């Protein structure tokens, strides 16, 4: 809820300062775009929920697996819906990623439902945002604004009932909750901006940087155990990613 609210506040202030707020209201002239952005808002909210829940129950490696699955889904969706072609190197890369994901799934001691939720919602989110011609900041403002319609009343309720973690004396928790908006909007803005210029599949592969850091953080910061199977899968994934990126650079 805080991610949605503070993302909206940061974006609204930014667009107002840079005279972009007028363009935002023009969105409402296009019902189709509003419908799709409402769906993407639901997808991104669900993705955040899965991520935050897994962090709180000590399953950061599950979030990592979810984001490892995302590029696989993005590549598949790009091929099926956007006619993005796969040459031999890309096929090898995708197969390596798929194989490594299978290792991660079958070496896990439980069914990775959180990972599948995170991977699927983010993959479909990227596809829908690429298909509509909406500037990144405007689309994000609508998405975070829609989430805020639900978040703000709930957060007010928590404040009134004194069960929330945000206080007006700006303690450590309050400041960190505010910064969830900052660290949410910057990567999302750049991701959506990048989708305008590069294929969905390549955007998905570059997105492996994020779960790689989740993986490293889970082990070296949060102290989660990483077995040999996961380490092997991690190495295979990056070999596949390297092949895909090499292919993209060679094309250019």
* % the chain with pLDDT above 90: 17
Query: CA neighbours within 13 Å on the CB side: how many for 252?
Result: 10
Query: Model confidence over 73-129: pLDDT tens digits?
Result: 887 888 888 887 778 887 888 888 788 878 877 877 777 788 889 989 988 998 898
Domain boundaries, the chain: 31-134+179-251
* Residue 215 banded pLDDT, cuts 50, 70, 90: confident
């Amino acid at each position: 809820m805080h991610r949605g609210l503070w993302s909206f506040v940061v974006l609204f202030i930014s667009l107002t300062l840079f005279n972009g707020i007028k363009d935002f209201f023009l969105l409402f002239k296009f019902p189709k775009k509003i419908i799709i952005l409402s769906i993407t808002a639901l997808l991104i909210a669900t993705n955040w929920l899965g991520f935050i829940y897994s962090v709180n129950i000590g399953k950061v490696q599950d979030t990592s697996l979810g984001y490892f699955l995302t590029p696989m889904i993005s590549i598949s969706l790009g091929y099926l819906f956007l006619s993005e072609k796969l040459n031999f190197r890309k096929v090898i890369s995708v197969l390596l990623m798929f194989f490594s994901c299978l290792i991660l799934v079958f070496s896990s001691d439980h069914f990775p439902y959180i990972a599948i939720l995170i991977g699927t919602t983010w993959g479909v989110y990227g596809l829908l945002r690429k298909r509509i011609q909406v500037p990144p900041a405007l689309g994000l403002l609508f998405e975070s604004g829609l989430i805020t319609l639900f978040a703000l009343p709930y957060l007010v309720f928590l404040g009134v009932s004194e069960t929330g973690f945000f206080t007006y004396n700006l303690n450590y928790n309050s400041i960190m909750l505010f910064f969830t908006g900052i660290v949410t909007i910057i990567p999302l803005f750049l991701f959506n901006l990048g989708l305008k210029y590069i294929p969905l599949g390549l955007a998905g592969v570059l997105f492996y940087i994020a779960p790689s850091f989740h993986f490293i953080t889970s082990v070296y910061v949060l102290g989660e155990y990483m077995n040999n199977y996961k380490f092997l899968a991690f190495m295979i994934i990056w070999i596949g990613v390297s092949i895909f990126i090499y292919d993209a650079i060679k094309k250019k």
